Structure 1
Amino acid sequence: MNSIDETHNPARTSWITSAQSHPDFPIQNLPFGIFSNDGGAPRGGVAIGDFILDLAALAQSSLLDGAARQAADAASGDSLNPLLALTADPRRALRRAVSALLDSNSTHRDAVTPMLHPAIACTLQLPARIGDYTDFYVGIHHATNVGLLFRPDNPLLPNYKHVPIGYHGRASSVRVSGTPVLRPHGQLKATHAPAPELAVTRRLDYELELGVWIGKGNAPGVAIPIEEAGQHIAGFSLLNDWSARDVQAWEYQPLGPFLAKSFQTTVSPWIVTAEALAPFRIAQPGRPEGDPAPLPYLCGVDDQAQGALAITLEVTITSERMRAEGHAPLRLSQGPASNMYWTVAQMVTHHSVNGCNLNPGDLLGTGTISGPTRHAYGSLLELSNGGAHPVELPTGETRTFLEDGDILSLSGRMEAKDRVSIGFGPCSGLVLAAQKR
Structure 2
Amino acid sequence: MEEDIPELVVDLDTPITTTSQQEGNAEGDIVQDNTEVVEYDATPDRKIPITIITGYLGSGKLTLLQHISQTSNKRLAIILNEFGDSSAIEKSVTIQNQSESVQEWLDLGNGCLCCTVKDNGVLAIEELIRKSKNKIDYILLETTGIADPAPIAKMFWIDEGLASNVYIDGVVTVVDGVNIVSCLEDVGGHWHKEHRHMKLDQAVNKDDVTTEEIQQEQMSLEQGLTTAHLQLALADTILINKVDLLTSPDSIDKVKHKIRQVNSLSPVYTTSFGDIDIDTILDLHAFEANETSIAKMSSGSGHVFHDGRITTVSIKFPFFRDPLSFQAFESFIQHVLWEDDLDGVAVQIHRAKGLLVCDISDGQPHDVRVLQAVRDTYDIIENATLVPGVKENQLVLIGKNLTVESLERELKKYITIQ
**TM tier relative to shorter chain:** under 0.3
Which structure exhibits the higher relative contact order, with contacts defined as CA atoms closer than 8 Å and separated by 6 or more residues? 1
- TM-score, normalised to structure 2, is 0.26
